[in-house]
Chains A and B, each alone.
Chain A
Amino acid sequence: MSVLEWVKSTRVFRSIYRNPYPSTTKSRLAVMVDSLVLHLHPARIVRRGTWVTYTWGLGGLSAWMFVILTVTGVFLMWYYIPNVQDAYWSIRAIESEVVFGQFMRNLHRWAAHAMVILVFLHMCRVFYTGAYKPPREFNWVIGVALLTLTFLMSFTGYLLPWDQLAYWAITVGTNIGGATPFIGDQINFLLLGGYEIGQATLIRWYTLHVIFLPLAVIGLMSLHFWRVRKDGGISTPVLEDDEEPGVPPAMEEG
């Protein structure tokens, strides 16, 4: 018996993985149903749903960017100090003193840009394939909310390095918010936590960036994925004959 086979035969291993490696139809169905991440998908799917040229994998990749951003983000949080005296110098320390610090900061930045682009492209894919049509209307609305949150997550992160780029980009951004008709001053105060960009702004945006917005995204993403399944799975062509309005859509999973 090889070491691998012995490991696989232990009580501990079998308590973690209930199924053998998915190599038979039965175990391949079981693995989809029994595991937390994989059960986002149904066990079977229409063949065209696996075509790369249909979805381009953009929604899944957006979610994957979120995972990379969470991991690199937690790493950065170990060293970053959300305080106007220290913020900039803690970033400098991440870049020069922390092992893999520069790499993790770079990866966080490039994955953030990638997420903005991927989410936008995902919206274009869903639009041009008509995948927002009934019964998927509300999931499209959730998607628009997720697009907005993606912009906000990226923008709140932009202030944190407390460098000239951050300070003046946020000046431009909050000036725009301050131009809101009737309640511009209040919006500006809300965004800045005061009358000018300072400690109150930094801690406010930091909190939004590392806790509130990610939690909101996790909540909406869960709803988004769940609704994909509940609304009939991956979108497939609808035939002319079952188009009458008012006919409930087939809720079979696809």
Chain B
Amino acid sequence: MTAMATPETQTQARSARAAGRGAQATASSPNPMEKVLVWPYLVRIEFIAALLFLLLLSVMAVFIDAPLAPLANPDVTPNPAKAPWYFLGLQELLLHMDKALAGVIVPGAVLLGLAALPYIDVRRKGTGVWFYSPRGVPITVFSFVYTSIWNVALILLDEYLPVPGEAGAHGIGPIIKYWLHNLQAAGWPLGDGLINAVTGWLVPSFIMLLIPASLMLIVKRRWQADTREQAIALFTFFVASFAVLTIVGTAFRGPGMVLMWPWEIPPANH
């Protein structure tokens, strides 16, 4: 990665500023802060990139047809009915908690959090440098792996953890619901509304906050992460969750949204 934060780039930037605008580059190592003409040095790259993408997409359009299923029929529900791929992460989330929490609160909170980011991480230090510091890459890799393991583990638990005494029932929420119903039967004053709030809202919210909170704690302890490095960990948590949930929702969910291998999923029935 050419633009990685190294002492060298910092020094180069410093000397370029010191030399003032229009500093002449030496033939051996062009000064990165030297001003160059946009025509041709940038325009040619953009032109080539635009042509390349038009070409690639055109080749794709020649050989791969956009899908078209039979005419819409409200009486025939495909199994499974899926949203477009970029929403399948949300659809995956819907399987594990209350609809409103997964489908509205979580994406709303993500968008608000993203928009608020530059007003929380306000220091200018780290602008224009890939991964900020020598700790940036290890923090990013660790956050990605850590989050992915949590996501995959929770999806597997929710799919395969059996509820005692109920054939076919599975999942973290249903098990907690089973315990709470036992307590209810034992005379505890637990209403059904409260039980649903605990299993559909409280427990999933706790888990969804536990992952980034524990991640923050680890990067602070292990790398003495500052605000920017914590932001890197949090953003990577978001990217990894989006990636894992989208991949699982797209390729690993078959009829009845049951977890299965991609090659086991039968062709869609329309």
Asked whether B235 is an interface residue with its Cβ less than 8 Å from the other chain, the reply is: yes
Give the top 8 A-B pairs by smallest Cβ distance, nearest first. Answer: A176-B103, A137-B118, A167-B72, A106-B61, A179-B99, A109-B66, A48-B32, A168-B81
**Cβ distance A228 to chain B, nearest Cβ, rounded Å:** 13
Which B residues touch A130, using CB under 8 A? 126-129, 132, 228
Contact (Cβ within 8 A) A164 B72: yes
Contact (Cβ within 8 A) B84 A169: yes
Asked whether B167 is an interface residue with its Cβ less than 8 Å from the other chain, the reply is: no
A95-B67 Cα distance, complex, nearest whole Å: 11
Contact (Cβ within 8 A) A46 B64: no
**Cβ distance B148 to chain A, nearest Cβ, rounded Å:** 16
Contact (Cβ within 8 A) B111 A45: no
Size class of the contact patch on chain B: 35 or more
| Known contacts A28-B40, A236-B127; 13 further A-B pairs (Cβ under 8 A) | A47-B30, A92-B68, A102-B65, A111-B57, A113-B85, A129-B130, A131-B127, A137-B119, A151-B86, A163-B71, A165-B67, A169-B83, A236-B33
Kindly identify, within residues 77 to 96 of chain B, every residue whose CB is under 8 Å from any CB belonging to chain A: 77-78, 81-87, 90-91, 94
Which A residues touch B45, using CB under 8 A? 50, 52, 57
Asked whether B76 is an interface residue with its Cβ less than 8 Å from the other chain, the reply is: yes
Segment among A9-17, A35-43, A210-218 that sits at the interface with chain B = A35-43
Contact (Cβ within 8 A) A169 B25: no
CB nearest neighbor in B for A253: B35
Contact (Cβ within 8 A) B61 A38: no
CB nearest neighbor in A for B77: A168
CB nearest neighbor in B for A54: B3
Which A residues touch B121, using CB under 8 A? 133
**Cβ distance A165 to chain B, nearest Cβ, rounded Å:** 4
Contact (Cβ within 8 A) B17 A239: yes
Kindly identify, within residues 14 to 59 of chain B, every residue whose CB is under 8 Å from any CB belonging to chain A: 14, 17, 21, 25, 30-43, 45-46, 49-50, 53-54, 57-58
Which A residues touch B270, using CB under 8 A? 163-165
Number of interface residues of A (CB under 8 A): 100
Supply 29 A–B pairs (Cβ within 8 Å), ascending by A. Answer: A22-B40, A45-B42, A47-B33, A48-B3, A49-B42, A61-B50, A64-B50, A103-B62, A104-B61, A107-B58, A107-B61, A110-B60, A110-B64, A114-B53, A130-B129, A131-B127, A132-B117, A133-B118, A133-B126, A136-B127, A140-B117, A141-B118, A163-B68, A164-B70, A164-B71, A168-B81, A172-B91, A176-B91, A176-B102
Which A residues touch B187, using CB under 8 A? none
CB nearest neighbor in A for B121: A133
Which B residues touch A46, using CB under 8 A? 32-36
